[in-house]
């Protein structure tokens, strides 16, 4: 009798522990967040997907939308990585649809039908649990019931995304112990360090839940108005898009400083340079520009481009490269500045006097995400409530109010957080020359001298490693949105960085 009395609780305890551990992984997600089916995709999902809203300000009804893709490897131990697209004003479904999401999207023959989805062999969810977030409110599927929330800036955005993370980890407690990383591209070169700083300060202040933050990745990211602004002319020259004479006379007239030029001779020389490259695809200088009003496919290409050039940017990657994109940073004539940042749709209106956004081809994402069935499957509010989904919105008024990111990078890297600053080396929008220069300017000891890095036996790009776990890397032949242009190479550096291996 006595024996069985002591055996009973032990048995219960064991049963409870054994049942609790696997159950916790299922029960942690909020009710109704699981994505049961993905319209356009038939077959079983390779991992579980969850999507929905998290309120970051209950008074105002400010709701941020996320789409969470569990790792296709070991979700319980693989890192959780937050992904942010830039703009400001661009949805992170840009990354989901065109870059490293779980699916490849193939347009239907009939443009009103849903695209066909197949699995992406280079999805970042092969290596990590990926959390796509539409931020700030007003972007993508995120919204607020208080319209004044749509006037925002760097600092408020970082406060909101930090509040989002704390609530998200509360709702998904099984992921609190996984290593956590923050990633993004273009204007997210501002979002990533500002949010990382808030997360790091929160950890220091004992904010709960504790986020197991390890480091961050920035791709072709805006960082500093002087470094980024001064990088473009040397890039254009180095790529052979202007003559030696044009470069030398601009250098002389501008005294080697272009970012805040005011001298009339200097401005005239810069104008010559910008006019010269105006019709080159800013996001990948090797890619043709897409002209939406042209009928035949061949007439989309700029007439000055010889036939042989039109295929240069094609890759063996699983995604079709958009002929031209917009909305991830600024055009050449509008370098990063403190103060109000124009959104791309508003710019297109002002500069091109057009309802159509010039040179864009975001139709697959637009068709899919504006379909009522898709929105319901993803738990996004219907268009009747929050309007249509746009790749980049001009619903927000956004201020760059966080200054240069360089001091923030210094604080984070000297606090032990690892950083990978990567750059597609054919992007003219936020060219690698600026990222290379500012990382070098940190003055950290070089621990891994400039060298090629490889995928298989092929050179995938070049890298230089610094003390404090700061790594700079180029991706050879890639445009602005690296995983879109070079998916295999992107998954390779992503995996190596997360597991703290050298590239
Ligand atoms: C909600 O946002 C408003 C405006 O940004 C702010 O004044 C208020 O303090 C916020 N409330 C909470 C609970 O964070
Ligand atoms: C040009 O730059 C040099 C140093 O880089 C500086 O000493 C000089 O004053 C500058 N000249 C003008 C006209 O700005
Ligand atoms: C940038 O140029 C403006 C106008 O020429 C000038 O007032 C300002 O001081 C410059 N800023 C810096 C940081 O040099
Ligand atoms: C660099 O990263 C590794 C792996 O996360 C860590 O063990 C090490 O302490 C870091 N070094 C510095 C200087 O932060």
Q: What is the DSSP string of 238-249?
A: HTTSS-HHHHHH
Pocket test residue of 255, 260, 261 for ligand 3, highest count of atoms within 8 A of CB: 260
pLDDT recorded at residue 108: 85
pTM: 0.87
Integer-rounded Cα Rg, in Å, for the chain is 23
- Every domain of the chain and the residues it spans: 27-214
Percentage of the chain modeled with pLDDT above 70: 80
Please work out whether the CB of residue 468 comes within 6 Å of at least one atom of ligand 4: yes
CB-ligand 1 contact for 60 (6 Å cutoff):
yes
Q: Which helix (H) or strand (E) holds 234?
A: helix 225-238
CATH superfamily, with its number, for domain 27-214 = Alpha/Beta hydrolase fold, catalytic domain (3.40.50.1820)
> Which pLDDT score, from 0 to 100, does residue 6 have?
32
Q: Whose CA is nearest to atom 4 of ligand 4?
A: 500
Pocket-testing residue among 55, 60, 151, ligand 1, by greatest number of atoms within 8 A of Cβ: 60
CB 178 within 8 A of CB 79: yes
Categorize the per-residue pLDDT at 335 as very low, low, confident or very high, splitting at 50, 70 and 90: low
Q: Name residues contacting ligand 3 (CB within 6 A).
A: 260, 262
pLDDT at 98: 92
Please check the confidence at residue 15 and state whether its pLDDT lies above 60: no
DSSP structural state of residue 328: S
For residues 421-448, give the mean pLDDT. 97
Q: How far apart are CA 501 and CA 82, in angstroms?
A: 20
Mean pLDDT of 281-300: 63
Lowest mean pLDDT of 211-215, 303-307, 368-372, name the range: 303-307
Q: State the Cα–Cα distance between residues 233 and 247, nearest whole angstrom.
A: 8
Tokens (6 digits) for 165: 């993370």
* CA atoms of 215 and 193, how far apart (whole Å): 10
Ligand 4 within 6 A of CB of 194: no
For ligand 4, atom 5: residue with the closest CA: 500
Residue 174, pLDDT above cutoff 80? yes
Given a cut of 50, is residue 357 above it in pLDDT? no
Average pLDDT of every residue of the chain: 85
What pLDDT, on a 0 to 100 scale, did the predictor assign at position 438?
98
Question: Going by C-beta distance under 8 Å and a sequence separation of 6 or more, which residues neighbour residue 247?
Answer: 233, 237
- pLDDT over 90 at 302, yes or no: no
Tell how far the Cα of 266 is from the centroid of ligand 3, in angstroms: 14
Alpha carbons 362 and 388: distance in angstroms, whole number: 14
Active-site residue list: 186, 427, 480
pLDDT at 56 over 80: yes
Inter-CA distances, 123 with 101, 424, 440, 453, Å? 5, 18, 31, 21
């Amino acid at each position: 009798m006595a024996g069985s009395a002591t055996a009973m609780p032990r048995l219960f305890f064991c049963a409870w522990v054994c049942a609790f551990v696997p159950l916790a992984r299922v029960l942690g997600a909020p009710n109704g967040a699981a994505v049961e089916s993905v319209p356009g995709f038939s077959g079983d999902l390779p991992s579980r997907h969850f999507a929905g809203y998290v309120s970051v300000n209950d008074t105002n009804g400010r709701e941020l939308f996320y789409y969470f893709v569990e790792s296709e490897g070991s979700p319980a131990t693989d890192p959780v990585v937050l992904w942010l697209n830039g703009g400001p004003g661009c949805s992170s479904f840009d990354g989901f649809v065109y870059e490293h999401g779980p699916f490849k999207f193939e347009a239907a023959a009939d443009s009103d039908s849903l695209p066909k989805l197949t699995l992406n062999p280079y999805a970042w969810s092969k290596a990590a649990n990926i959390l796509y977030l539409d931020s700030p409110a007003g972007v993508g599927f995120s919204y607020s019931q208080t319209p004044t929330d749509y006037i925002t800036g760097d600092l408020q955005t970082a406060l909101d995304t930090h509040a989002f993370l704390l609530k998200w980890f509360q709702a998904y407690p099984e992921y609190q112990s996984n290593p956590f990383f923050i990633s993004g591209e273009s204007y997210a070169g501002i979002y990533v360090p500002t949010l990382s700083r808030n997360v790091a300060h929160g950890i220091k202040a004992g904010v709960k839940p504790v986020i197991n933050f390890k480091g961050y990745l920035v791709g072709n990211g805006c960082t500093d108005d002087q470094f980024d602004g001064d990088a473009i002319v040397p890039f254009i020259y180095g790529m052979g898009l202007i003559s030696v004479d044009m470069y030398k006379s601009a250098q002389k007239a501008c005294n080697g400083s272009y970012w805040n030029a005011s001298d009339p001779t200097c401005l005239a020389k810069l104008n010559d340079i910008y006019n010269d490259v105006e019709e080159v695809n800013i996001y990948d200088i090797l890619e043709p520009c897409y002209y939406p009003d042209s009928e035949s496919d061949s007439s989309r290409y700029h007439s000055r481009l010889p036939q042989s050039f039109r295929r240069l940017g094609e890759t063996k990657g699983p995604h079709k490269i958009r002929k031209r994109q917009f909305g991830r940073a600024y055009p050449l004539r509008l370098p990063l500045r403190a103060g109000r940042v124009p959104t791309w749709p508003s710019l297109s209106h002002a500069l091109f006097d057009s309802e159509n956004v010039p040179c864009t081809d975001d139709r697959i994402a637009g068709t899919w995400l504006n379909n009522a069935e898709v929105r319901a499957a993803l738990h996004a509010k219907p268009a009747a409530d929050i309007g249509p989904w746009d790749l980049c919105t001009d619903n927000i008024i956004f201020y760059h109010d966080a200054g240069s990111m360089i001091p923030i990078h210094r604080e984070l890297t000297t606090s032990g957080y690892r950083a990978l600053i990567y750059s597609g080396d054919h992007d003219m929008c936020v060219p690698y020359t600026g990222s290379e220069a500012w990382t070098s300017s940190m003055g950290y000891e070089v621990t891994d001298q400039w060298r090629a890095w490889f995928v298989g036996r092929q050179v995938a790009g070049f890298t230089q490693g610094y003390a404090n776990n700061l790594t700079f890397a180029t991706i050879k032949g890639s445009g602005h949105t690296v995983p879109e242009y070079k998916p295999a190479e992107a998954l390779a550096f992503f995996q190596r960085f997360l597991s703290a291996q050298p590239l």
